[in-house]
Amino acid sequence: MHTFPDFRCPAEAMGLVGIVFSLLAMWVALGGGRWWMRSAIGVAALGLLLPLHAYQPIMFFSLAGVSSVVLLSLLRFFTERDQVRWRHPRSVPAIGGRIEFWLGALAGSVVAAASVGWAVRIFWNFGWLETLLVILPVYFTIQIVAMLFGDSFRFGPRIVTRRDSFGQSFRLIEALFAVVLLAVLFAINALALQRAPISLWFSVLCAAGMATMVNVSVAALFTASRLRWRLASIVVFVIALGLALQFGAVGGRWLMQASSLSYLPGTPFRSMIWGYSVALLMTTLCVATAGLFRSGAIDSPAERSTGRVARVASAALLGLYAACLIPIAVKMVPPLAQPDPIAEDAKLYEQLETTMTELMTLNPKEQTIDDLAKTGRTESAIEVAEAYASIRRSTRRVFRAPDPLAVDADFTGLGQKLNAFRSWARCMDKDAMAAVKSGEFFEASEAWRDCIHVGHGLGRGSQIAYALAGIAIEGVGQEGLVRIRNDLPVETIAELLSALITIDGQRESLESLHRRSDLVMDREMTWQYRLAMHAPAHLSAQNPAETTTLVSPSIQATGDAIDRRDAGLRMLMVEFAARLFDAKQRRMPTSIEELVPEFLPAVPLDPFSGNSLIYRQTETGFVVYSTGPNETDDGGEFGDITALYQNGYDFDLDTLIRPTKRSGVVGFGGMN
């Protein structure tokens, strides 16, 4: 599962961000030019994270960056006080340099190609940017190491010189610059901390400490002039890497904050840390060999040709990182799309919720009103009947479920609240079935119509949990009306048809529900969720429409349920409209188009295929059906609800109520 682009690419993006800020901290401390200009660029880079709402990474990179700059500045101070220079008066023959270059190029190409082949076998949908992220660092690293290795074994005397003096100048204007930069850095972090307070400070500080150890040790490994310092840096790097691997939940979350990955069990933090460390080592080798981390010109074992290759490698890698990160950052800045406006007030829902909760107390065994009266609970039966009447009056007005984006949104005890609605729906279904046995079809239709109204309201303007509960409750009502559709008088059919047409026109689209879910997750996870939305499509070969986020499985399941719900409702509309047409014209319509506009405002579409519902006349009347999930007209071959997702079957109204071939299978509503 973790090899999928949806889980892999956010980790890759955050790994690149970590490498860029590590290189930036090294450059601020070890680069040439005016220190305050380098520091200002570093602070500005942190400020660029504000529009992305990446408040926690700002705090993390600030802590790790400042501590890295301080320690690396001390390293630079002591290095320049006792600097060793190697000189090679004897030059290498031109043929030897060319052989070294081409041997390094050949080795780099072979290893890089092998690395890409391995990555493509391991991961799916490997994109061209991800391919370059593997092949370029590996190729340039092998090339530079081969050239440095050859240079270190050249013949000729080595002259060692020492420089014991260190010039240090101090001006008041530089102190003012330092105060201003610190103030700006403090303001950025104060804003980030205000927007996203950090509760696990110990984890943040530990991870920042490990990142500092990694940055300093890697920089010292490639820039220190003394062998003992390089050996010490290797030891520090191994210790930091060991700590990160030992406490992967800390190191992985902060060194490579990987969006949805950090919320899943079994997250491959170790692999993430290894990949981050290797990439940082490779990139730092290229940048350090190019001379970007040196305050002044010093002699090194590298030939001029090696330096030129390193400069090309540095430019290529930094350009590649920019090409990977900048488009993602640009997409993360704009606000997410808003859901469709739902004008109705949620206060009506609050009244319904209170009534439903009271009903659970009055009728915990979910008995019918007649059963309550027969068992001597006459007062409870009267109260339940009054509550049913109150709910009926309320639900005939359009309402919406609570808005999760509201400031005062409270979803405490959501499961218990929805259970109250489900309990009411089961009670209504039992009372309706009792009314059918008594021949009171109008009362039964009113009870099932109430279920459709309540389910419709729950599916508008709220979370996926409300929508799914609403679909189940509405399914109870649809199944009930299907059972008695041939027993209803024309007047009742006309009233039901009008209500169903109104409901069908007030549906909230799946896309709107998806946008609301994205906004809820964006409010909870901020930059992490946006990174998961945009990184996979940009870095991998995955189609943007196929990118999955934490809400995608729920949205997909809800989409399937919505299609079933809408198909059932629209088939009922056509069924009722055809019966009204027959009552008026004394014949069945030849097509659905004949029902428009007198009985239907438009030809209802099949939510599965996107085309109109299929209508055919038969010897006994007519049949209207949907293609079902396979989006193929199978010629009117119907099964029970268990066959809905099997090939070779279509979806008609009786699919909802046909006896299932297997026992223990719930109906369309999922509650009966």
Residues 555 and 607 in one domain: yes
- Does residue 182 form part of some domain? yes
DSSP classification of residue 511: H
- Does residue 661 form part of some domain? no
Residues 160 and 218 in one domain: yes
Name the stretches of the chain with pLDDT < 50.
Answer: 1-2, 84-93, 152-168, 249-252, 254-261, 296-302, 663-670, 672
**Number of structural domains in the chain:** 2
pTM of the model: 0.80
Got the DSSP string for 550-598? TTHHHHHHHHHHHHHHHHHHHHHHHHHHHHHHHHHHSS--SSGGGGTTT
pLDDT of residue 181: 83
pLDDT of residue 162: 42
Kindly report, residue by residue over 543-599, the tens digit of the pLDDT.
777 777 778 878 888 898 999 999 999 999 999 999 999 999 999 999 999 999 999
Residues 315 and 374 in one domain: no
pLDDT of residue 24: 94
Residues 541 and 472 in one domain: yes
pLDDT of residue 122: 61
- Does residue 665 form part of some domain? no
Indicate the residue among 299, 330, 361 that finishes a domain.
Answer: 330
Nearest 5°: the CA angle 660, 665, 666 is 105
Residues 288 and 414 in one domain: no
Integer Cα distance of 423 and 380 in angstroms:
16
pLDDT of residue 319: 94
Residues 307 and 425 in one domain: no
Residues 500 and 375 in one domain: yes
- Does residue 669 form part of some domain? no
pLDDT of residue 243: 78
- Does residue 338 form part of some domain? no
Both structure tokens of 386: 């009054």
Kindly report, residue by residue over 73-103, the tens digit of the pLDDT.
888 877 766 554 444 444 444 555 556 666 6
Q: Do residues 185 and 43 touch, judged by C-beta distance below 8 A?
A: yes
- Does residue 663 form part of some domain? no
Residues 324 and 393 in one domain: no
Residues 282 and 371 in one domain: no
pLDDT of residue 439: 93
Residues 452 and 305 in one domain: no
Indicate the residue among 305, 330, 355 that finishes a domain.
Answer: 330
pLDDT of residue 81: 61
pLDDT of residue 407: 76
Residues 461 and 541 in one domain: yes
pLDDT of residue 167: 45
- Does residue 191 form part of some domain? yes
pLDDT of residue 344: 73
How many CA atoms does the CB half-sphere of 302 hold within 13 Å? 22
The domain in which residue 55 lies consists of 5-330
Residues 275 and 361 in one domain: no
- Does residue 298 form part of some domain? yes
